[in-house]
Every structure is written in structure tokens, then in C-alpha cells.
Structure 1
């Protein structure tokens, strides 16, 4: 049984191209208000969102992402792990420790930021707008930090574009739930590439028949190709996290 909300969620698709139509201020503010009600770890709200309106900064971020359409979208958001605010409050209240630097708190911020991004996406799509996540900001997180002038104890974790869609892409197939959902233990599947044969065929048909960027491909081939060509800058993510003042605690 579906309802209005779940129908929108089941129809989720990535929108990369948008009409040259601004998002109304009242609507955007309402979306942010909805996002602000997102569940947050221990109520600490260890995330912030940067809305990019300067075209020069949009252009710079598009260069990091290697995606020209990033600079053209009506709305560009960067979700940021943020324990700097926590540090400010703690110091003003007389706290002398540094627990806001721990990996525990950092991962709380990661969870808070991702949950907020998903929650605002649900709201965006409920208004018949579209959105796309930008994991590509992690191509060079230090450059994003510099562009946004982020203070210590922050880290840009994911970006997002949204607006009025100028595209109608097909629904991208998903693998069967038996590969993802376990009961009381990990959903281990033996001979997984064989078990994924039907999904590979479904993905092959999808890539071959979609309107844009048609190609001959499968899920398992794409996975191996991606693992075989890692981005060298992304190999330094932890170094950037540490440079931002977080304690990796790798020697303890």
C-alpha cells in the first residue's frame, strides 16, 4: 500500500538538468525548515549547509566536480560536518577538553549531514522539484574547504543541486533486496556475480535504451572498473580530515 509520500520516493530519479527558473524564496526557506527537523545524533546537530549563490564559486566547484552542469543549476548546496560550532559553545561555557575532535563526534556529523541531505531531498521531490547529490566534491575536499573558507573542525561531505527539472530520465534499476536486507545476520550471497546475472541484464538494457549517455555496460563491470581507477586525491581524504583538526586516533 502506497501513499503520496511513498509514491514520490518510489519515483526517485537523479535530475542533473534544470530549467532556468529560480526557486521561490518562501519555498526554499520552507525546504530548509523541513531539513532542520531532521533526526540528529544525540540532538547535537553537528552539520551545516552552505548555499552557493556566487557564480565564481559555482564555477570553481564545478571544476572540482568535473561536471559543467554544477555551475548552471539554480540551487547548489554543500553539506558540511560541523563540530566547530560545538567547540565555540563548549569554550564559551568553560569546557576545557577537546572531545569535539574525536572520530565519534566526526561520524555523528557525517550521519547528521547525510540524513539532512536525504530529508530535504524528500521534501524537494514532494514539490515536484528534482535534485542530484554531488559526491564529486570529494574529488578535492581541500579545494572545497578553501573555496568556502571553512574553519577548522568542519568537512564538506556531500553536495546537492536542485531546481525545476528540465529532464525526465528513466528509473534506474536497483538490485534485489535479498542482496541488501538480512534477518539477524549479514545477507551473505554465495556466487554473487552469478546471482546478479538478472540484474546485470536489467542494467545493460537500461544503459542501452536510456535517452542520454547510452553505453554498453553492466553493474558488475561498472563496479570493477570504478575500483580499478581510484581518484588519487580521494586517497588523501583522511589526511584532509586530520588537517581540519579531527583526531583520527589511529595509533591508540
Structure 2
């Protein structure tokens, strides 16, 4: 039998090493924020999905008072189901820790690894509003009391969130976030902890006690791998796409 050529072997290995990523965005943002990372991974032959959740970014025209946390969870669950995705690396950033945790309750068997990037790790019955800064919690409640569909973020994004070079771009893209997603308690039974390969990445320049606790909890759990990226803002995928891409690929 003729020997296989090295080129074919190399191509086969590259094919087997290809990963499928699903990126879930945080509050006020959409799939656009992952573009620098998506481009890098796609250039490496990987498959990347970065949906905008209902009511945000390119789907901001769908913003209504009826959108809640279940809506955003369904966005991710249905993407994975309808695209028939398997062996997914699910990446959740910030608010999306709630969305990802909820989605895993339905599609955990299709996810082989997770990366929580400066993200919440909620317990059953928690609401996003419960973990928000006091000032923002008041803004959420005020918007809800007024019957508004969305709550606005900061008019000016500070350096602890994004580097100056990326600030104008980010400010031009952010949209109001559906109020209902902050107020609905999450229902989780521990599907996140059952994922075989788990990584938590903390961006300590962004002050958030709940992310600090998540990092500490993950450090104390041998089933998690943890990293800290100092001197990088909360929107690390814009500020340091090479480093974030490397870590996510390593974590997959």
C-alpha cells in the first residue's frame, strides 16, 4: 500500500484539531465585539459563532419589554441546536455568564469546554440586578418602573472597560440592554460545573467583587483553570485580541 503523503497527514491533523466556538456577549454589546477574536480563530480554520442576543446590536430593532433572561438563553440554545453543533467551546463574557449558565442546562451535552471571561457565575435564583453596582441597580429599577424596554449604559466608556484607542468604536456600537433580562431569577442545577474543561479569565483592572469571588472560587476548584490578565480593560477582546484568542484556543 502506498504511503500517505506528509501533506495529507498534516491536513488531516489540522482538520481534526479544528474547534467550534460560540461567543456570547455581555450587556449593551453584540457579536460585533468579538470580531477581532473571531477573525483570528477563523483564519486558523476554526468555526466561530458570535450571535447578538435579542434586542441588542444588529438585533436592537427587536427590543421590547417582553425580553427576559429566558429569551437570551433560548438565543444560545437554539443556535447550538439548529446548527447541530457538537463539542462546542462556549465562551461567555460579563453578563453572559448568566446566559451561558442557563444555556448549559439544556445543551450541556453538546459543550466540551467553557471559558468565562470576566463573567458572572450565578447560583440558582440569583438575578443580574442583584449582582450589579448600586448605581446601575437603581437605573435598572427606574427603567422598569417607567415601563421602558431597555436601560442605557455609560455615555462615556471609562479606561477600566476599554482602551482609549478602542473607546470611540465601542461607544458607537453599544445599544440599550433589555431590562427584563436583569430582573428574572436564573434557574440552574449545576450544569456549568459538569462541563469537563472549564477556564475562568479575570481582568482585575475592572473592579467587580463578584468576578473576584468567581475567580477565587474557581482557583479553589481543581476542575477549573484560571488566568488573570492585568492592565487589560473589561473589553479585552478589543484591547488584546491576540492574547484573548490564544487563551481561548488553549482553553478549548
> Is the TM value for this pair above 0.5?
no
Q: Which has the larger radius of gyration?
A: 1
TM-score for both structures, normalised by structure 1? 0.24
